[in-house]
Amino acid sequence: MHPVTIAGTLSPWEPAVFSLVIYGMMILALVTALLFIASWLGEKKINHEKLRPYESGIIPTGSARLRYPVSFFLIAVFFLIFDVEGAYIFSWAISCDELGWSGWLQISFFIIMLLLGLVYIWRKGGLDWGPTRTRD
């Protein structure tokens, strides 16, 4: 039996496996060298501004423990309905011929659930983006 195909496994000396190991070692050496050079050449001046947390260019004030309004979560559900569903429906559309009626029923159920979520958001006021008037 050929030494490469003993028990259905590849020998470490198979050209493809050997090349992959050499490539991995070269990448590891390159990353190590780049990290070493960056830490060696980089500035090491520590001051108060560098130790401050970076919050998207805004100096943080107060506690980060804030109560989110309900509209924040309604917008999150709104995002799920109209963005993530597109990936599922697109992948279904690619393979709708192979899925047949079973796939059609499943995507129909999925779309009905999304529409129910949209109705829920609509009734809770998640689609009202402007200020609301209240009765006194």
Q: How far apart are CA 62 and CA 60, in angstroms?
A: 7
> Does residue 46 register a pLDDT over 60?
yes
* Environment class of 126 (CB within 10 Å of its CB; exposed 0-12, middle 13-18, buried 19+): buried
Q: How far apart are CA 58 and CA 95, in angstroms?
A: 47
pLDDT value for 37: 94
Q: How confident is the model at residue 136 (pLDDT cuts 50, 70, 90)?
A: very low
For residue 135, what is the DSSP state? -
> Does residue 101 register a pLDDT over 70?
yes
Write out the two tokens for 85.
């569903």
47-90, pLDDT tens digit by residue?
887 777 776 777 777 776 777 777 777 777 778 777 878 888 88
SS3 55: strand
Q: What is the mean pLDDT of residues 5-15?
A: 62
Q: How far apart are CA 55 and CA 43, in angstroms?
A: 22
> Does residue 2 register a pLDDT over 90?
no
The domain limits of the chain are: 3-51, 70-124
- List, in order, residues 6 or more apart from 126 with CB less than 8 Å away: 71, 74, 75, 77, 78
> Does residue 24 register a pLDDT over 90?
yes
